[in-house]
Amino acid sequence: MPEPRIVAFLCEWCAYRAADEAGRRRLTYPQSLLSIRVMCTGRVEPAFVLQAFREGADGVLVAGCRPGSCHYGDGNRKAAARHALLLRLLAQLGISPERCRLEWVDGADPERFAALVREMTERLRALPPGPLAGEGSARAPERAPPAAREAGRPKVAFYWNAACGGCEESVLDLGEELAAILAGAEVVLWPLVSDGKRRDVEALPDGSIAAAFLSGAVRTSEEEDWSRLLRRKSRLLVALGACAHTGGVVGLGNLSGRGEILAAAYRSAPSLERSDGSLPGEAGEPALALPALLPEVVPLEAVAEVDAVVPGCPPTPELLGRALALALRGDLPRGAVLAPGHSLCEDCARRTSRPARFALEAVRDLATSVPDPTCFLAQGMACMGPATRGGCQAACVGVNVPCRGCFGPLPGAPDPGAAMLSALASQLCGDEEELGRLATQIPDPAGTFFRYGLARLPRRRGSGS
């Protein structure tokens, strides 16, 4: 049996020196450890830990100087605050806290370092096996077909996967502008307004649809099939809205296995038609050819190549109208996210009230507090504004609600949830015990920081998923 793979982030001033001395003394510990030297544990972002799990690590060790002896003053305190909150997120994702450790190791104590690695390895070896989601689980996206233009009006298609319908409503919100845009186009599929048939789409030549706009995450085998069909038939495939872009709220379903979801739908609250709580296909009726739930919710890009994204929950009519007009003219830039590249904070009227530095002794939320008109973060409220694209016209902030992150990540920063978890945790005050208590004041880290991006996070998959 192979040794568990541990990624270790080691502080230059203590833990890395202990590891170096352990090597010189030839102390014995498993060689499956991958050591990464960092200047301080305060530089270890939660995104690094999540990425290690995505890449197949069995465990992550963060080791640094003891409290009170940090070379940079309070770096290890910030690491402790992030770790306390990160552990609660990992637990929601089904990743055992045993797989992520924060330890203090003096540079002059190589024996403790070697013993720590041996002990963590033994604990990981004792945990139930189960590969991380994403390790060999991604379905390869289909490539776009060669362009096959047809004479006449450009064809356009709209389709919805696992979504609430809000993105489709935003198309209708274009009103007279929509009529003007579509006047020179042929709509070949739009379930919201017409009874389109799959066979009619299948009969179209590959690449004959100018642009297909797909909203919603991919949750079932039917949605996966439709996504790939429209990819093949369209020259441009546009991810419409947060669920298609990053998995959206639908992605929170990944916190539960398929068995749990079906049990909740058919057994926890039996319907009048199925008072015995049986699942479809049971109770002696003929087997039904229903779409299958996929192992996990994924964004559209996981199953089909996406040419452009219109973000938001839902997208604003302004962004959507521009995207639709550009797509039908053939001018839509491939690979574009059709929203500004700056953060929401630049559009926020509260930005002038955000202090350069602040310390939090409590965490607040809308369920128990009424926010004042100043920066939400300075009030101890989780606001995703600093790590989220602008372009939504600050609609939520305008009605006294912190940003929830629906417009997705900024360019070059693909994990806004981890960034905001780190930022908020770094402002918490107190010793390790107090930091742990403050971390519990955010009851749902996954839903708070990854409300729209959880479908991109690593998870443990068990046999009952």
Q: Tens digits of per-residue pLDDT, 207-237?
A: 999 999 999 999 999 999 999 999 999 999 9
Strands 293-298 and 218-220: antiparallel
What pairs with residue 156 in β-bridges? 187, 211
Residue 140 has a pLDDT of 54
Q: How far apart are the first and last CA of the chain?
A: 24
- pTM, two decimal places: 0.86
CA distances from 270 to 260, 276, 279, 454 (A): 14, 7, 10, 29
- The confidence band for 465, taking pLDDT boundaries of 50, 70 and 90, is very low
What pairs with residue 212 in β-bridges? 157, 237
What angle do the packed helices 416-426 and 46-54 form, to 10 degrees?
140
pLDDT for 114 beyond 50: yes
Residue 260 has a pLDDT of 86
Residue 463 has a pLDDT of 35
Helices (H), 173-288: 176-182, 198-202, 221-233, 242-246, 258-263
What pairs with residue 132 in β-bridges? 460
> Phi-psi category of 89—alpha, beta or left, where left has phi over 0 and alpha has psi -120 to 50?
alpha
Residue 109: both structure tokens together:
């104590």
Residue 275 has a pLDDT of 67
Tell me the domain boundaries of the chain.
Answer: 6-126, 155-337, 344-450
Residue 281 has a pLDDT of 60
Average of pLDDT values for 54-73?
92
Query: Which residue is listed with tokens 């544990």?
Result: 41
- State whether the Cα torsion 262-268-273-275 is positive or negative: positive
Q: Which residues contact residue 169 at a Cβ distance below 8 angstroms, ignoring those fewer than 6 apart?
A: 314
pLDDT for 17 beyond 50: yes
How many angstroms from the chain centroid is the CA of residue 65? 32
- The confidence band for 137, taking pLDDT boundaries of 50, 70 and 90, is very low
Query: CA-CA distance, 64 to 109, in Å (whole number)?
Result: 12
Q: Which residues contact residue 79 at a Cβ distance below 8 angstroms, ignoring those fewer than 6 apart?
A: 40, 41, 42, 44, 62, 64, 102
Q: May I ask the CATH architecture of the domain 6-126?
A: 3-Layer(aba) Sandwich (3.40)
66, 69, 70, 72: CA torsion to nearest 10:
170
Q: pLDDT tens across 429-447, in order? A: 988 899 999 999 998 999 9
Task: Note whether 91 and 100 are within 8 A (CB).
Answer: no
More confident residue, 281 or 108: 108
Average of pLDDT values for 367-394?
92
- The confidence band for 194, taking pLDDT boundaries of 50, 70 and 90, is confident
- The confidence band for 285, taking pLDDT boundaries of 50, 70 and 90, is low
3-state secondary structure of 285: coil
Domains 6-126 and 155-337 share a fold: yes
Average of pLDDT values for 411-435?
91
Residue 219 has a pLDDT of 95
Residue 80 has a pLDDT of 94
Of 422, 253, 448, 252, the closest CA to residue 367 belongs to: 448
Residue 138 has a pLDDT of 47
The secondary structure element, H or E, covering residue 104 is strand 100-104
Task: Note whether 239 and 309 are within 8 A (CB).
Answer: yes
3-state secondary structure of 83: helix
Residue 289 has a pLDDT of 72
Residue 4: both structure tokens together:
């568990």
CATH number of 155-337: 3.40.50.700
pLDDT for 136 beyond 80: no
Q: Which residues contact residue 365 at a Cβ distance below 8 angstroms, ignoring those fewer than 6 apart?
A: 381, 382, 442
When the pLDDT of each residue in the chain is averaged and rounded to a whole number, the result is 88
Q: pLDDT tens across 239-277, in order? A: 999 999 999 999 999 999 888 888 887 777 766 666 666
Which of 94-98, 263-267, 400-404 shows the lowest mean pLDDT across its residues? 263-267
Q: pLDDT tens across 378-388, in order? A: 999 999 999 99
Query: CA-CA distance, 186 to 325, in Å (whole number)?
Result: 13
How many other C-beta atoms lie within 10 A of the C-beta of residue 88?
Answer: 18
